[in-house]
Amino acid sequence: MTRRDALTVPNLLTYGRIIAVPVVAALLLVPGSGARWAAVIIFVVAAVSDFFDGYLARTLNQTSALGRMLDPIADKLIVAALLVALAADGTITGLNVLAAVFILMREIFVSGLREFLGGTVVIHVSQIAKWKTAAQLVAISVLLIAPLAETAAPAVEILGLVVLWIAAALTVYTGIDYIRGGLPYLTEAE
């Protein structure tokens, strides 16, 4: 891979998403609505870039092995970090933390499965897995905004938690789908 391949527009968008992770998480630790709004804006831009990096890679014929590796890592990093940060700041509490735990368990399991299978087996991303990622990003966006919504905050928070549980259900479903796809390779005799 050349330096030019590493610096394609789609890869730059993915790098931006990865850089956004600690920035958004740190902003959630800063008291006040200004930092929270900055976190919301950066997160939404990062989430929207998730659509554009893949779209541009295909449209501009700039797909790369680096991009195929980094894109799902960036997705998992931003989702995992923000779920942990939202639990830490008290936005996600009680039994709703289980939705976040289910999401984190699946993401770690699928990453391990992909690593185990290496380059020998490719398990393609399904349409439902894309919806799962979208639901996760929408849930996190709404939950980031909830404390800023003032009089509508309880309704916005409930909406965010409902979407979080929908994302968790889709996450578990797609995790089972990945297990089914990888199971024949996990049960092979060595």
pLDDT score for 163: 97
pLDDT score for 78: 93
pLDDT score for 173: 94
Query: The pTM is what?
Result: 0.87
Residues of the chain where predicted confidence (pLDDT) is lower than 70: 1-5, 119-123, 188-190
Q: Exposed, middle or buried, 142 (CB in 10 Å: 0-12/13-18/19+)?
A: buried
pLDDT score for 119: 64
Kindly report the CATH number assigned to the domain that includes residue 40.
Answer: 1.20.120.1760
| Listed residue (153, 14, 4, 143) closest to 75, CA to CA | 14
State the Cα–Cα distance between residues 78 and 63, nearest whole angstrom: 22
Total of domains in the chain: 1
pLDDT score for 21: 95
Summarised one tens digit per residue, pLDDT across range 107-148 is 898 888 878 777 666 667 778 988 999 999 999 999 999 999
pLDDT score for 172: 94
Domain coverage including residue 52: 3-186
Q: What distance lies between CA 149 and its chain's CA centroid? A: 23
pLDDT score for 189: 52
pLDDT score for 179: 83
